[in-house]
A and B are shown apart, each in its own frame.
Chain A
């Protein structure tokens, strides 16, 4: 009996020693070495691909943002600022409730199923809003023009991209709100459309933050006149 207990203890001690040694290798040396290489070779990317406008950091080119008007009194959900290109809905985005000393963005999906009534309503509402917001005189938007990414939430809630179809659909509205010619804004969208990698990997996409920064540059001198 005693020998079996002491055998088990000896074995467990060996297991613990193995774990500690391997923790040093894979939990300390390895991440520090990778961090050293990463910070040496790709400091910008290793620190979050920050992007600047007018000399100020305005976010990460990888993290989607919202482009809303400030909340008015009595309002619960903000309205989109239609001057700017809009990203995808983010109904699954959570808010940090555990470490309240921080205001961390909490990534997440809605996890609503395809037959969930709430999701169906969200999609219908989003589609109606996209049609209404983007229909300008002479350029009506039909419900069938609206691509799926415009009315669904992404997996992370932080999708930085929209499909070129959704960007194109917003061109006339953005041009009108900013007093720019539509073909100039369309050209901007085309310049910011990233094709599939090597022609077949992933999907074509438009980075909304980068597009809006370029739009801002275009608007600023025009506003000065």
Chain B
């Protein structure tokens, strides 16, 4: 069997597995976020928080909950790293410097997991499991909560109430993420991912001498790293490290975990708004983009253009033998079209166009299928823009799911889509204009520029992957990337929740003959076009200076 055919079959197997999980998981999620009942453990947690889970919140209250919880997360994680040197169970690792601790705290709370540190030499057991892995769970749950609040905005009318943030947060963790993570972690250990709390481990070597490696709770962190579309590796090599991703099967399984919840949430959206076909239309849009990106990526990686790859006879630089080019390409596209940023191969050594595809995936706003929660709300905002464009074409007030898209709604949507490009382009321009940030580049020329453009694209879109040649552990990059991550995560949430509140207040308009049928393929096509055109127009000049210049050279 040729590697290309094997790659295509892996793609089909992955899609079949996701299709099998789609209806049951999507329906389950809809029940989780609609049920009036509380589990006993949840009641204990609510008592601990001191919150009443049955209080309905309007959008400002919901937003305040999100922000308060996230501010607490940043502070706690910052302190934990600053105190690492004196905490027990830290393998004797030193405390993290202030700028790097800020960057890492911002990064994990913002569901980005950009890492300017080397996992195996910087973070001990306590920070990894009680700090970083906790944010892997809760930042994912926050993302789903905000998406569910937006869905409620479409589903409800004449209320303005969007649910209870604490209940959504706790249910996401207790009923969704933890159960799947437990099963997934055991599967990973069965395949060879390590899971222990031993210290530094010293073993002999074949040629004599010894080698040392870290023990750690890797499987339990690996699974939520993918499932919560977080991406922060236990080890520096992330999911390329054999202890994180030991076999071809775990590779495919980890891609499955990355896509699982973002895909299923489109079903949840359909169920909660009363029309599963609306969910299918959103899913079709996501799948079209994802599939075309994978196809393009496989094509360019198997073709292996670029002097060094031509000389080598294949694009294997930065890739593992067990995954091959097919498995690596699927992973690379899936991780950058979601907000994951985990890598099983190193994007900086991809072909010029391959690297461009990973960057473009993030620039689309990570909506195909996107991060847990953030993918759905990002795509729904794009849908609002798309119906608005369609409305302009036929001269009719646009509406989506029975809600009028008026001035107020379109302003919120427009602000949402402007934030991230503004952060990416302004910070990249500043880094290029100042004298010192450029010293961090490993490669020169177009690829050097790409390293910096990639970094801010990754940070502002909350992805976290890197053209890792860039030495990002400088005060400039730690600080500006930290800010880009926080602003890129929470400013869009403000507009999503404001939009949700505005939609929830409206009375639904009846469907008439003139209504745009948003559950039809025509609309999915329009939506794909809107996504590509808006992103293309925004980023084309920057892409032309980096990956396009390299790929066409």
Residues of chain A touching chain B, judged by Cβ–Cβ distance below 8 Å, are: 8, 11-12, 14-23, 25-28, 30-31, 33-35, 37-39, 41-42, 45-50, 53, 56-60, 62-68, 81, 84, 88, 92, 94, 96-99, 101-116, 119-120, 122-124, 127, 144, 146-149, 151-163, 196-197, 199-203, 205, 209, 212-213
Cβ–Cβ < 8 Å partners of B240 in chain A: 107, 109, 154-156
Known contacts A23-B130, A98-B94, then 5 further A-B pairs from the complex at CB < 8 Å, ordered by chain A residue: A14-B68, A18-B72, A20-B76, A111-B443, A114-B309
* Chain B proximity of A146: nearest CB distance (Å): 7
Complex interface bits, B285-313 against A, C-beta within 8 A gives 1, otherwise 0: 00000000000000000001111110111
Whether the Cβ atoms of B203 and A57 lie closer than 8 Å is yes
Contacts of A103 in B (CB 8 A): 211-212
Contact partner of B321 (CB less than 8 A), chosen from A37, A49, A162, is: A162
> Number of B residues whose C-beta is below 8 Å from A?
130
Interface residues of B (CB under 8 A from A): 1, 3, 5-6, 9-10, 13, 45, 48-51, 64-65, 68-73, 75-76, 91-94, 118, 120-122, 129-131, 133-134, 137-138, 166, 169-170, 173-174, 177-178, 181-182, 185-186, 189-198, 200-201, 203-207, 211-215, 217, 219-221, 224, 235-237, 240-243, 246-249, 251-252, 304-309, 311-324, 326-327, 343-346, 348-352, 355, 442-443, 445, 447, 450, 467-469, 550, 553
Question: Taking CB as reference atom, which chain A residue is nearest B468?
Answer: A111
User: Can you report 10 residue pairs joining A to B where beta carbons are below 8 Å apart?
Assistant: A17-B50, A19-B134, A25-B45, A35-B217, A45-B192, A105-B213, A149-B316, A154-B316, A154-B321, A197-B249
Q: Smallest CB-CB separation from B77: which chain A residue?
A: A19
Indicate which residue in B5, B166, B221 contacts A18 across the interface (CB closer than 8 Å). Answer: B166
CA distance A160 to B447 in the complex (A): 29
Q: Is the CB of A17 within 8 A of B48?
A: yes
Distance in angstroms from A205 CB to nearest chain B CB is 5
Q: Smallest distance from the beta carbon of B313 to chain A beta carbons, Å? A: 5
* Pair B237/A156 contact, Cβ less than 8 Å: yes
Q: Does B344 lie within 8 Å of A30, measured CB to CB?
A: no
Report the bound CA distance from A127 to B314 in whole Å. 13
In the bound complex, do residue B68 and residue A63 qualify as a contact, i.e. CB atoms below 8 Å apart?
no
Query: Which residue on chain A has the smallest CB distance to residue B189?
Result: A38
Question: A127, B311: Cβ atoms under 8 Å?
Answer: yes
Chain A neighbourhood of B211, CB < 8 A: 59, 63, 65, 103, 105
User: What distance in Å separates the Cβ of A36 from its nearest Cβ neighbour in chain B?
Assistant: 10
Which residue in B10, B118, B195 is a CB contact (below 8 Å) of A46?
A: B195
| Most chain A beta-carbon neighbours within 10 Å: one of B72, B181, B351, B355 | B72
Residues of B near A149 (CB, < 8 A) are 314, 316, 321
What's the nearest-Cβ distance from chain B to residue A174, in Å?
14
Least CB distance, B413 to chain A, in whole angstroms: 28
CB neighbours of A92 from chain B (8 A): 318, 346
Which residues of A have CB within 8 Å of B220? 30-31, 34-35
Chain B residues with CB under 8 A of A33: 182
Q: Is the CB of B131 within 8 A of A27?
A: yes
Contacting residues, chain B, for A14 (C-beta < 8 A): 49-51, 65, 68, 166
Contact of A120 (CB < 8 Å), options: B196, B241, B307, B469: B307
A130 CB to closest chain B CB, in angstroms?
11
Complex CA gap A118/B196 in Å reads: 39
